[in-house]
Amino acid sequence: MISDDAIKNCPEGREGFTRRQFLRGAALFGGMTVLSANGIRYTFAATTNEVPDVVVTLVLRGGFDSLSAVVPTDENLMRKVRGEIFIPNSSLLPLDREFGLHPALKKFMPLWEAKELAIVNTLGAPTHSRSHFDEISDVAYAAYGEKDKRSGWIARFLDVAGNGSAVQSVGIGSTTRQLIGGKAAPVNVDAINNFRLDSVFGYKAEDLAGFIDETHGRWTNIWATQAKSTIAALDQIAMASAQKTVVTYPNTGTGQRFRDVAALLKAGIGVRAVDIEFQGDWDMHANMGTLDDGWLTSYLADLAGSISAFREDLGVLWSRVTVVTVTEFGRRVSQNQSAGTDHGWGSSTFVAGGGVNGGKIHGRFPGLDDKQLKDGDLVVTADYRSLLSEILTRRAGITAEGAAQVFPNFRPEVLSVMKHLSETPLPENFPTKVQTALGNVAYDPDKLPTMAPVASATPTPTPTNTVDATPSPTPTAKPNNSNSPAASASPTTKSTKKTITCVKNGKTIRVTGTNPKCPTGYKIKK
User: Which spans of this chain sit near other proteins (rule: CB under 8 A)?
Assistant: 131-133, 137, 147, 150, 166-167, 181, 185-189, 195-198, 200-204, 207-208, 211-212, 214-216, 218-224, 226-227, 229-230, 233-234, 283
Classify each residue of 399-411 as buried b or exposed e, where b means 16 or more C-beta atoms within 10 Å of its C-beta: beebbbebbeebe
Residue 25's identity, in one-letter code, is G
Q: How far apart are CA 525 and CA 415, in angstroms?
A: 35
**183 vs 364, which CB is nearer to other proteins?**
183
By three-state DSSP, how is residue 325 classified? Answer: strand
C-beta closer to other proteins: residue 141 or 365: 141
Which of residues 234 and 438 has its CB atom nearest to other proteins in the complex? 234
Q: Are 480 and 487 in contact (CB under 8 A)?
A: no
Distance of closest approach, residue 437 Cβ to other proteins, in angstroms: 17
Q: With respect to other proteins, which residue has the nearer C-beta, 22 or 64?
A: 64
Residues 11 and 186: their CA atoms lie apart, in Å, by: 21
* List of E strands, 318-393: 321-327, 347-353, 360-363, 382-383
Q: Of 497, 372, 410, 370, give the one whose Cα is nearest residue 145.
A: 410
CB of 200 to other proteins, least distance (A): 4
**Could you give phi then psi for residue 172, rounded to 5 degrees?**
-120, 120
Task: Give the nearest distance from C-beta 209 to other proteins in angstroms.
Answer: 9
Instruction: Give the three-class secondary structure for 189.
Output: strand
At residue 515's C-alpha, the angle toward residues 514 and 519, to 5°, is 125
Return the number of the residue (138 or 383) whose C-beta is nearest other proteins: 138
**Of 18 and 226, which has the nearer Cβ to other proteins?**
226
Nearer to other proteins by C-beta: 24 or 183? 183
Helix locations, 365-467, DSSP H: 384-390, 400-406, 432-438
Using CA atoms, how far residue 54 sits from 58, 485, 496, in Å, is 13, 30, 31
Provide the pairing of β-strand 117-124 with 347-353.
antiparallel
CA distance 6 to 451: 33
User: Rounded to an integer, what distance in angstroms lies between the CA atom of residue 186 and that of residue 386?
Assistant: 24
What is the smallest separation between the CB atom of 431 and other proteins, expressed in angstroms? 25
Least distance (Å) from other proteins to the CB of residue 245? Answer: 24
| Closer CB to other proteins, 249 or 278, in the complex | 278
CB of 144 to other proteins, least distance (A): 15
Work out how close the CB of 134 gets to other proteins at its nearest, in angstroms, rounded to a whole number. Answer: 8
Q: How far is the CB of 338 from other proteins (least distance, A)?
A: 13
Residue 376, number of CB atoms within 10 A of its CB: 13
Q: Which residues does 426 contact at the CB level (< 8 Å), separation at least 6?
A: 19, 50, 51, 319, 320, 435, 509, 510
- Minimum CB distance to other proteins, residue 250 (Å): 25
Nearest CB to other proteins, comparing residues 37 and 219: 219
Nearer to other proteins, 283 or 383 (CB): 283
Q: Which is nearer to other proteins, 61 or 82 (CB)?
A: 61
Q: State the minimum distance, in angstroms, from the CB of residue 143 to other proteins.
A: 13
Q: How far is the CB of 190 from other proteins (least distance, A)?
A: 8
Is residue 40 within a helix (H) or strand (E), and if so which, with residue range? none
Mention every residue, 6+ apart, whose C-beta is less than 8 A from residue 336: 285, 286, 342
- Asked whether the CA dihedral 424, 467, 523, 501 is positive or negative, the reply is negative
- Reported as type and span, the H/E element at residue 5 is helix 4-8
> Measured between alpha carbons, how far is 173 from 191 in angstroms, rounded to an integer?
8
Quote the least distance from Cβ 234 to other proteins, whole Å: 7
Nearer to other proteins, 49 or 151 (CB): 151
